[in-house]
Structure formats: structure tokens, C-alpha cells
Amino acid sequence: MFQVCNELMVIADGNEIYIVKLIDVGFLPGKHFNPSFVCFPLTELLCSGERCTVAEIAETAKLLEMTLLGLIRQGSTEQLLALHAGLEVTVQEGDKIIVIADLVN
């Protein structure tokens, strides 16, 4: 286990652990505005962010050569690790994902 931690957190070459904004990998957050100026169906569409599953987030990360470890929800410092693939997430602007990747190169 020491070798794994050493590789991911200390050694500069290869993969490291990163925290990346979910919107930076292509997911759309909800909008914040006064809903009284817009008709109801449009308000519902704009107020809620993109809905996706953890599996969809993991697949997107994989296409970007990242391995998904977990999620940090907007306004929270709690890391949600090893989430069930079927869990549905509504994307908010401050959501972040925890990944293993080689983003330096």
C-alpha cells in the first residue's frame, strides 16, 4: 500500500490524484436566477443542472484518460468515494470529481 500512496502522492512522474471541477469535463451546472420572470417549464429546465449517473461521469473521465475515484458536492468538504454506478447526480457549479490522471503531460 505504501508503494501505491508513494506513486500517487509523492513521485512526480506518472499518475497523480487530482480534484477537477465537474463542469471542466463537460457537464452542465444549474443556473441561478429569479424564476418569477420565466414560465414554469423553462424555470424547471434552467434551475436544475444536468442529470447524470456516476457511471456516465466515470465513462467521461475514462475518455479523458482519468480514473474516477469520487465526488465532492458543491458547498461540502466531504469526499464521496467509490460511489454506486447507478447513483444519479444533478450537477451544480461547485461539484468536483476526484480522479487519478497524468494531467501534467
Distance of CA 11 to the CA centre of its chain: 25
Contact assessment for residue 79 and residue 4, using Cβ atoms and an 8 Å cutoff = no
pLDDT digits (tens, 9 = 90+) for 64-97: 999 999 999 988 889 999 999 999 988 888 899 9
- pLDDT value of position 36: 46
> Class for domain 2-101, per CATH?
alpha beta
- Spatial strand order of the sheet with 96-101 comes to 16-21, 96-101, 66-72, 80-81
pTM of the predicted structure, to 2 decimals: 0.74
Contact assessment for residue 88 and residue 3, using Cβ atoms and an 8 Å cutoff = no
pLDDT digits (tens, 9 = 90+) for 25-66: 888 776 544 444 444 444 444 455 778 899 999 999 999 999
